[in-house]
Amino acid sequence: MDTDRIVGAAKDYAGKAESAIGDIAGDSKTQASGKAREAAGTVQNLYGQAKDAVRDATDTAASYAKDAYDNSGDTFRDGSQAIAQKVKDNPLGALMVAGGIGFALALLMARPARRPPQRWRY
């Protein structure tokens, strides 16, 4: 719990008490001061709640990232094993896919350089 929430709640209750005293005494100045203090306390309490929510979201995101990092080796190993099993099951298909990828890469890398268009002289 953030200190802004505690201080804000205290100001809120103090403002309510001051406003009630102003109502009882019939003093509009004390009543207005109490309402202002109550509003300030409510705003500070909401600010503390927002800080707590951001802190919780940051902690959750960091926890997810740490778990993903810790499990990344397992995921990579599982993917490698799945690919190896597919190659064992269908070696000809795997060879065709690898050849297609190699051919596409060769076409992309061996493409002639672009020449600027010819200029006609008159």
Digitized pLDDT (tens) for each residue of the chain, 122 residues in all: 678 778 888 888 888 888 888 888 888 888 888 888 888 888 888 888 888 888 889 989 998 888 878 877 787 888 888 889 988 999 999 899 999 999 999 988 887 777 777 777 76
Q: What is the C-alpha separation between 73 and 68, in angstroms, rounded? A: 9
pLDDT of residue 116: 76
Contact 78, 34 (CB under 8 A): no
Q: What is the C-alpha separation between 31 and 119, in angstroms, rounded? A: 86
Kindly tell me the number of DSSP H helices and DSSP E strands found in the chain: 4, 0
pLDDT of residue 102: 94
**CB burial of residue 64 (10 Å; 0-12, 13-18, 19+):** exposed
